[in-house]
Amino acid sequence: MAVSSARVVDPDTVAGAVTVGPLPPGFVIDLGAPGMGLFDLFLGPPVAHGEFRDNVVVGLTRFVVDATVDVNDIFDDAFTEARGLPEWIEQRADRGLVGGRTQGATLQAGNYRDAAGRRLHTVTKYEAYQRGNVVYFLQCTGTTASDDVALWSSLVHTVHSARLDD
């Protein structure tokens, strides 16, 4: 049972550093991310498909837990949300075991059709880090409207590289 939880938007309040990279070419940081409840937001150049911009979103949540919590249980439903997206086609869904510095992780990639009818390619990584009774839950999601395989590969690499270094 979590005693408390809070979104983390200030890097100075994290016992370590969140790193993501390298970013795909042309991506820039959006300094407004904390105002949206995000740890980081990176935006690609505008695309011809309208208002959508390729992006990499980083969310971080801090939990204070008691001794009865099995942190790895948080991943039991990790793939559910994406699988509910319209016309979801899954390319991979991997669940990492507890080990090393983490309490588990997942990586899921696929594509879906958004409300505007665009086919979007997305990849999401979830990873949990526990130090005593404090758990950091990292989410990194990259999304592109491009069919460029090189950009898609770069996005997968970027999201896969996201981590908390403490």
Sign for the pseudo-dihedral over CA of 19, 25, 31, 32: negative
Q: Give, for all 166 residues of the chain, the pLDDT tens digit.
A: 568 889 999 999 998 999 998 999 999 999 999 999 999 999 998 766 567 899 999 999 999 998 888 888 888 889 999 999 999 999 999 998 777 778 889 999 999 999 989 899 999 999 999 888 899 999 999 999 988 999 999 999 999 999 999 8
Number of domains into which the chain is organized:
1
Question: What is the pTM (predicted TM-score) of this model?
Answer: 0.92
Say if 57 falls within a structural domain.
Answer: yes
Say if 137 falls within a structural domain.
Answer: no
Can you tell me the distance from the alpha carbon of 76 to that of 86, in angstroms, rounded to the nearest whole number?
Answer: 22
Q: What is the CA radius of gyration of the chain?
A: 16
Say if 7 falls within a structural domain.
Answer: yes
Domain housing 47: 1-93+113-119+156-166
